[in-house]
Structure 1
Amino acid sequence: MELPGNLKWIYGTDTNWAQTICRILLGAALLFAGISHLTFNRAEFVAQVPIWVPMSTDLVVILSGIMEIMLGLSLIFLYKWKALVGWATALFFVLIFPGNIAQYVNEVDAFGLDTDKARLIRLFFQPVLVVWALWSTGAFKAFINRNK
């Protein structure tokens, strides 16, 4: 089935072996993180939820854990839709970034990030995750080439 030109970005372009490995590794990392949200690291994640979020901190952790599990499984198994999954994963990383900023600003110790320096360094890794999601799925390239 041929998609209209403006929808081709959903599937993405062919990716090389390095991108495929990185996509699967990112998916496995998200799957692990999501499971840890719901089980053994739950208290650590609850401590990171910003105080301004208008929901139960436990509910936020549960919902974000479920989302990470879904994104992780999608990155691994929905390779035909990899570009769309890449955009969704990148958006997720952008949406949770305020929580990382809040952890830094509010000096919340979690996951061994017990100094301002460690919490600040962590902030610089979030854009890396966004780029990783877009590159490993071919999402950005597919979007650029959508009308070709």
Structure 2
Amino acid sequence: MTSRPDVRTIARIVLALVFLGAGLLHLIVPGPFLRITPHWVPDPQTVVRLTGLAELLGATGLMIPRLRRAAGWALALYAVCVFPANIKHAMDGLTSGTGLGWAYHGPRLLFQPVIVWWCLWASTAIDWPFRRPQAAARVAPISMERI
């Protein structure tokens, strides 16, 4: 009998591959990431290297059951922390004439909360919105007769 991987497993593998690719790019081709690093970030080269390393470690952690939840939380936090760079990239892109307008930057910025959720859900840190939490399932509904 063949077992099919479930949607969550596929989502986790895709997410790990995306973070693996991004991590490698941060380390191999840091220039584009340095350009979108906000000016207030100290030592941008080190930060870009560390973000690449964080992505590689997170991708690896997603694939190790014992580390999966911690990796999901770490990658979700990472996605929140890099949001200022995404905003800067959008603002610079709109004013620099790179050709990447709101058709690219708008959805990318709006997708960031989905990435945060994806990290948490694919890592099994959360089940929302697909399953009710166990605690909520144990609570009996309140009937008007008891009030």
- TM-score band by shorter chain is 0.7 to 0.9
CA–CA distance in structure 2, aligned partners of residues 75 and 86 of structure 1? 7
1:43 to 23, 31, 34: 31
Q: Which residue of 1 aligns with 2:50?
A: 63
CA–CA distance in structure 2, aligned partners of residues 108 and 61 of structure 1? 23
CA–CA distance in structure 2, aligned partners of residues 108 and 46 of structure 1? 18
1:34 to 12, 19, 23: 23
> TM-score, normalised on structure 2?
0.74
Deviations 1:40-82 (A, max 9, x none): x3111111101121x1221111110011011011112x21332
Deviates more, 1:42-51 or 1:133-142: 133-142
Q: Which residue of 2 aligns with 1:123?
A: 109
> Identity rate of aligned residues, in percent?
32
Aligned residues: CA RMSD? 2.7
Q: Give the unaligned 5+ runs of structure 2.
A: 139-147
> TM-score, normalised on structure 1?
0.74
- Code of the aligned partner of 1:21: I
* Paired residue total: 128
Q: Tell which structure's C-alpha radius of gyration is larger.
A: 2
- Conserved? CA contact 1:107–1:116, under 8 Å: no
CA–CA distance in structure 2, aligned partners of residues 82 and 114 of structure 1? 35
| Larger relative contact order (CA 8 Å, sep ≥ 6) | 1
- Code of the aligned partner of 1:51: H
